[in-house]
A and B are shown apart, each in its own frame.
Chain A
Amino acid sequence: MIQFQANKTLLTSAGRQQMEVAFEVEKGQLLTLYGPSGAGKTTILRILSGLTSVSSGYIAVDGEVWYDPRKKINVPTQHRSIGFVFQDFGLFPHWSVYDNLRYALPKGEDPRLMHELIELMELGSLRDARPAFLSGGQQQRVALARAIVRKPRLLLLDEPLSALDDDMRHRLQDYLERIRKHYELTTVLVSHHLPEILRLADEVIWLDKGRIRQQGPPEKIFPGQSNRQSAPEKT
């Protein structure tokens, strides 16, 4: 389970905004952060990963405290068991797809999952290609595979399927569901795509200007929408 609470001053295009957010996510559940640009969605992922600092707050994952300034605890990013898919992917340009994944695999770890991921994400034919020669969608699949390879306790996904066509998006949604359930990966997903949210999310937080506007299961937040319906994307 994730317990998250953070206060931070955000610098957005609309000026300074005070972010105050607190939530909990049960183990193995998927929380979606939804809301307009500048609402603080990516910032929450960065705070969870330890890449961005906060003025005050508290983070604990499965009972392990990652951030508690009162007890002077701030676990560095490297020691947080996370998988992060960045919006701009953050692939290593000097390595092939295969080497990008192999770097993510902890020493002595069984490479079976890595090979399985290569197959499921249909990266086999791209194994030896460098990221610069891949399309946006292909890069996104590599980034997703790389984040999952080390079986993290917490999966942080910043619009991980936005560059994919509908067919691939659906397949990866299915796969993400399966692998999440199998490894009980607690996930925080930033998404604007309503059908995707309705399909994947257990809980949705609708953020606006650094505050929680609404929180609840997707059917409650977006009444009248079914996951088969294609809703206009909100940006």
Chain B
Amino acid sequence: MTDWQPLWLSFRLAFITTVLLLVISVPLAYWLAYSRWRGKAVIEALISLPMVLPPTVLGFYLLIALSPSHLVFTFTGLVIASLFYSLPFMVNPLLSGFKSLPPALREASYTLGKSGWTTLIKVLLPNIRPSLLTGIVLSFAHTIGEFGVVLMIGGNIPGQTRVASLAIYDEMQSMNYAAAGRYALVLFALSFSILLTVHLVNHHFSKPDPLS
């Protein structure tokens, strides 16, 4: 009998993380794309760090940072860690989306008296839909695939922080290959199908290029 709880926990974590990341990353990527502040390269490098750092390094620092707040080994702590861990997977596609738009779009909207906010919501975001979709899906899939960070900060508590990737590791340790295989298969099939969907949808978007 498969215990579905780790999978459910993984999806819940990925969903909450993705929604929060979307809210945070749209203004952040917008600012990075259009700000003339010279120091923004530092911010861009910081955002991309989780892509190259070993997850254990990130997990270690987060553990130290969150320890005083009693958030370690809780689901909320996992969400906070996931936000940092998956941030580049949301920000970077949005950033390249904004940068690929012709400047005349934003400028035309400004000359029509529209605010930066209205321009962002009504003009810019609808024209970077493929980037939005890529960001959402990559963040979701990447959060599902977390291992090192959740191990460091989550502590593998069943029902709380024991997500699917940890459950696979546990089942392996206790030589329970059948259960590990079931979790692995679900994650494999799910990851493959969402990535396939993204590629198919983006292929569809890119056919009649609306910006040419």
> Which of B102, B107, B110, B127 lies in contact with A94, CB distance below 8 A?
B127
**Given A84-B108, A132-B208, also A90-B102 (CB < 8 A):** yes
* A146:B112 contact, CB within 8 angstroms: yes
**Given A103-B122, A132-B209, also A90-B113 (CB < 8 A):** no
Q: Is A162 an interface residue (CB 8 A)?
A: no
Measured CB to CB, the closest approach of chain B to A189, in angstroms, equals 16
> Which of B111, B112, B115, B211 lies in contact with A93, CB distance below 8 A?
B211
Count residues of A near B (Cβ-Cβ below 8 Å): 28
Q: Is A77 an interface residue (CB 8 A)?
A: yes
Q: Is B24 an interface residue (CB 8 A)?
A: no
* B127:A51 contact, CB within 8 angstroms: no
Interface of B is mostly: helix
A-B contact count (CB 8 A): 63
Q: Give chain B interface residues in 60-89, CB to chain A under 8 Å.
A: none
> Which of A51, A92, A106 lies in contact with B113, CB distance below 8 A?
A106
* B112:A51 contact, CB within 8 angstroms: no
* B108:A130 contact, CB within 8 angstroms: no
* B110:A78 contact, CB within 8 angstroms: yes
* A92:B123 contact, CB within 8 angstroms: yes
Query: Within 8 Å CB of B113, what residues of A?
Result: 78-79, 81, 106, 150
A106 to B114, CA, bound (A): 9
Q: Give chain A interface residues in 156-203, CB to chain B under 8 Å.
A: 156
Query: Within 8 Å CB of B127, what residues of A?
Result: 92-94
Measured CB to CB, the closest approach of chain B to A34, in angstroms, equals 23
> Which of B112, B209, B212 lies in contact with A104, CB distance below 8 A?
B112
Query: Within 8 Å CB of B115, what residues of A?
Result: 78
* A89:B126 contact, CB within 8 angstroms: no
A167 to B108, CA, bound (A): 28
Q: Is B104 an interface residue (CB 8 A)?
A: yes
Query: Within 8 Å CB of B110, what residues of A?
Result: 51, 76-78
* B105:A90 contact, CB within 8 angstroms: yes
* A88:B104 contact, CB within 8 angstroms: yes
Query: Within 8 Å CB of B123, what residues of A?
Result: 92
Q: Is B39 an interface residue (CB 8 A)?
A: no
A227 to B134, CA, bound (A): 55
Measured CB to CB, the closest approach of chain A to B209, in angstroms, equals 7
Query: Within 8 Å CB of A49, what residues of B?
Result: 111
Closest 4 CB pairs of A and B: A90-B104, A90-B108, A84-B111, A93-B210
25 residue pairs of the A-B complex, CB under 8 angstroms, read A51-B111, A77-B107, A77-B111, A78-B110, A78-B115, A79-B113, A81-B113, A84-B108, A84-B111, A86-B107, A86-B108, A88-B104, A90-B105, A91-B108, A92-B108, A92-B123, A93-B127, A94-B126, A103-B114, A104-B112, A132-B211, A132-B212, A147-B111, A150-B113, A156-B111
